[in-house]
Amino acid sequence: MSRSLALLTTLLACSARDSAAQPSAVEPTPAVVDAPAPIATAPPEAEPTPAPPRAPGCWEREFGQPPDPSGIGPSLPGPIAGCDGCETLRVGPKAQGLHAEVLRRVRDVVAALPPPPVDEPVLWINSGKRDGEIDASMHNQGLGIDAVICGKDTRATAAALREAGFTCVIEYFDGAGNPCHFAHADLRATKWATGAYAKGGRKARTCPKKAVSRSMSCANGSKRDWTYSEG
């Protein structure tokens, strides 16, 4: 009986060793699949930088619009005898027909002004040579102008015209006494003036310093719309 039990124990031990020696089932290695190559794409385009806003010029700031586009270029068709460089003036089409001595002084006024921040004229002639009797107006002799210097009122404009050598300069004000933008300048009582405006002539002896509108407007078209005085 003891021997049979020992034999049974031995057989069970061997069976356990054989079970332990059996290799366990090996899990299959998953197949390695290559990842797809990335598709090359162009980098996103950068957003275009917006253009800076257009800077308004002096005329647009002061008067709501630039001068007449048809007169932005050179005012004169070519060189003017006695006025070197006047062919480059950009002061509006009403410069045509003016005496060289007037143009020379206009040139000097423009040259003394700082360059504008945008490409535009700095001085504009509102009224130049007119038709009519030479004794009626210096404009009729081509020796008078009404001019605007952008950014200046009538007083500062008049000062620049006097500095350039005009012999008669008139400042303009509306009916409330506010300064207009333009001033008159002429060459009365000079060797170039004739008739009543010549040296010793009845209109050469005086020059009004100031004109006040008979209305609240500066946009008058006739001398009778103004009251002239010596100061």
Domain that holds residue 119: 59-229
pTM for the model stands at 0.76
Domain contains 13 = no
Domain contains 22 = no
Q: What is the pLDDT of residue 67?
A: 78
Q: What is the pLDDT of residue 133?
A: 97
Q: What is the pLDDT of residue 78?
A: 95
Domain contains 42 = no
Domain contains 110 = yes
Q: Interior CA angle at 69 toward 65 and 73, to 5°?
A: 130
Domain contains 148 = yes
Per-residue pLDDT 10s for the chain (231 aa) are 445 445 445 544 545 455 544 555 555 565 555 666 667 677 777 778 877 777 788 999 999 887 778 778 999 999 999 999 999 999 999 999 999 999 999 999 999 999 998 999 999 999 999 999 999 999 999 999 999 999 999 999 999 999 999 999 999 999 999 999 999 999 999 999 999 999 999 999 999 999 999 999 999 888 899 999 987
Question: Scanning the structure block, which residue is given the tokens 């062919």?
Answer: 87
Q: What is the pLDDT of residue 31?
A: 58
Who contacts 164 (Cβ-Cβ below 8 Å, separation ≥6)?
105, 106, 108, 109, 112, 185
Contact at 8 Å (CB) between 139 and 168?
A: no
Q: What is the pLDDT of residue 8?
A: 46
Domain contains 23 = no
Looking at the structure of the chain, the number of domains it has is: 1
Q: What is the pLDDT of residue 41?
A: 72
Q: What is the pLDDT of residue 221?
A: 80
What are the DSSP calls for 18-68, one per residue? HHHHSPPPPPPPPPP-PPPPPPP-PPPPPPPPPPPPPPP-HHHHHHSSPSP
Domain contains 45 = no
Q: What is the pLDDT of residue 5?
A: 47
Domain contains 21 = no
